Amino acid sequence: MTQQKAYIFCENLYPLVLARRAVYAKDAGYRTILISTELSAPEIKSLRDFEESKLEGKTVFDVMIPTDLFDLDTLRQHVAEIEKETPIGGFMCGIGTFHNGSLVGSNVSILAEERGLVSQNSDAVFRCNNKFLTRDALRAAGVPTVDFGMATDEETARVHASRIGYPVILKPVNGAASHMIVKCSNEEELVSKFRDAMERLPNSTNKGSYESAHSYPDRSGTVVHFDPMTSMLVEKYIPGREASVEMMITEDEYIPLLVHDKVTMSERERCFYEHLLVVPPQRFTQEEEQEMKDYAVAVAKAVGLKNSFSHVELRYGDDGMGPQLLEINPRIGGMWVQESIKALVGIDPQPIHVKMMDGTFTAESEYKSSDEIHAMFTIYPPHSGLLEKVDGLEELKQIPEMIHSKQAVPNGSVIYAEDEECFLVMCFIKTDSYERVYEIYEDACKMVSFTINQNVTSQEEVANA
């Protein structure tokens, strides 16, 4: 009798994103093991509710190993203990961002590579999670990318911006959710916003990631030290239309699936917000759409990513610039991207990813996308504070074209609306026209309202109340 193998899931940020994938692994005969931060009371309740509703009370994870240490040595120790009883058939990470000095996603890939198992490529995962190293990889591969540099203080910020030419963008080297991305039109703004960032980063919601100082070689082999808490990436501002390419990458194939057209965007003081996305793209010709897909493939090849879904954000630059990278993620996109792929391409990324990471997935010869109009949008909170309630959710569900709508952040959470994209209410629709998309979006924004206590500025205040 063949011994049952273990499928190890590892995540430091949102462990429950792996729950449904673990179900598919169990269905394939694996023993499922989760290594993650200790689940909070709300997370435990959500997991138990999921098990009751979807699994008739059966557990998603056979073993759960709580930890706040995701360095390679600690993970190796956990895995060695598992291997005393069970051989391992696959590893999977969810978001896998930096955590207390370690890049979790890259470390999980190393564990797979050490055992000859399928991996996303640990080096590629690292470069995807460091925006300087991403652009360095593109430059080394000859893939078009804007000029950039690391600002470790105000003077180096001035030097890089002067060389690059205004306007420039300042952004954390390992940020997420458009956190603390600021546009600077001149030297005065550059210095002011750099100083502001240095004050805000230590108190941000992404503090644990920014505290993760690290060193890594660029493509020339020069080891570069990064301290995200005291530095910012400087890069040329890209004027143009924004979009994202959703890709499926196997061991040796790069398959663009969809292009989402970000038709409604806004640039605020400390964050860029994407409000409304449509697919198929409305503002791009078929030639431009194909150009973006080809460019996304070139980007993924340049960093070396494999065995992964990937979300490639770009702008189609004005004045003949063509597609230009904003960032590449070694995972599926947020909001309703997963549902969009299911609706338009007819595949479910969750079970496919499980099969990718144990080496049993074979891509089809062709993936075609429907031309039926779909859209996703977010309704953002107007300001920061304690979220007390959201009104209008039932009215949203009554919209005939609504496929999915949800409140993504629970009441009782402190939100930071000015510094990052807070996907508070998210909707996914199918319509007969782009005009109807805009009508629904405008109506939804009028339907939904938020009650937010601006006097509460941190979750610690809530805990101590």
**What tokens does 105 get?**
């996603």
**What pLDDT digit, counting tens, does each position of 345-384 carry?**
999 999 999 999 999 999 999 999 999 999 999 998 888 8
Domain ranges of the chain: 6-117, 147-236, 239-371, 374-465
**Yes or no: is domain 147-236 CATH 1.10.10.10?**
no
Task: Assess whether pLDDT exceeds 80 at residue 199.
Answer: yes
Q: What is the mean pLDDT of residues 250-263?
A: 96
101-110, 181-190, 252-261, 412-421: which range is least confident on average? 412-421
The model's confidence at residue 2, banded by pLDDT at 50, 70 and 90, is low
Is this prediction's pTM over 0.75? Answer: yes
**Residue 91 above 70 pLDDT?**
yes
pLDDT of 14: 87
- The two three-digit tokens of residue 340, written as one number: 């969009």
pLDDT given for residue 462 in this prediction: 56
Is the pLDDT higher at 201 or at 436? 436
Which tokens is 352 given?
A: 């496919």
Averaged pLDDT score across all residues of the chain? 92
* Mean pLDDT value of segment 26-48: 93
Mean pLDDT for 185-189 is 96
CATH of domain 374-465: 3.90.1170
Does the domain spanning 6-117 belong to CATH 3.40.630.30?
Answer: no
**Percent of the chain predicted with pLDDT > 90:** 77
Predicted pLDDT at 210? 81
Tell me the mean pLDDT in the region 396-406.
Answer: 96
- Of 192-206, 317-331, 401-415, the range with the lowest mean pLDDT is 192-206
Torsion of CA 143, 102, 205, 226, to 10 degrees: -50
Q: What is residue 56's predicted lDDT score, i.e. its pLDDT?
A: 83
Residue 410 above 90 pLDDT? Answer: no
pLDDT of residue 3: 80
pLDDT of residue 335: 87
Gap between the Cα atoms of 404 and 337, Å rounded: 12
Structure confidence at residue 205 as a pLDDT band (50, 70, 90): low
Confidence check: pLDDT of 450 > 80: yes
Helix axes 19-27, 41-55, angle to 10 degrees: 40
Residue 270: pLDDT above 70? Answer: no
59 contact partners, CB below 8 Å, separation of at least 6: 51
55 to 41, 324, 462: CA distances (angstroms): 20, 44, 34
**Residue pLDDT, tens place only, 283-304:** 999 999 999 999 999 999 999 9
DSSP string of 390-408, one letter each residue: EE-HHHHHTSTTEEEEEE-
Check residue 247 and give its pLDDT: 97
Q: What is the pLDDT of residues 206-244, one digit of tens each?
A: 667 788 899 999 999 999 999 999 999 999 999 999 999
Best CA proximity match to 437, nearest among 242, 263, 240, 243: 263
CA-closest candidate to residue 331, choices 77, 49, 97: 97
Q: So what's the pLDDT on residue 397?
A: 95
Position 13 scores a pLDDT of: 87
Confidence of residue 51 (pLDDT cuts 50, 70, 90): very high
Pairing relation of β-strands 254-267 and 240-249?
antiparallel
* DSSP state letter for 220: T
Residue 177 in this model has a pLDDT that exceeds 90: no
Going by C-alpha positions, the residue among 428, 421, 461, 464 that lies closest to residue 444 is 428
Q: What is the pLDDT of residue 383?
A: 84
Of 3.40.50.300, 3.30.450.40, 3.20.20.140, 3.30.470.20, the CATH number of 239-371 is 3.30.470.20
Q: At residue 461, does pLDDT exceed 70?
A: no
d(CA 251, CA 254): 9
User: Chain centroid to CA 418: how far?
Assistant: 19
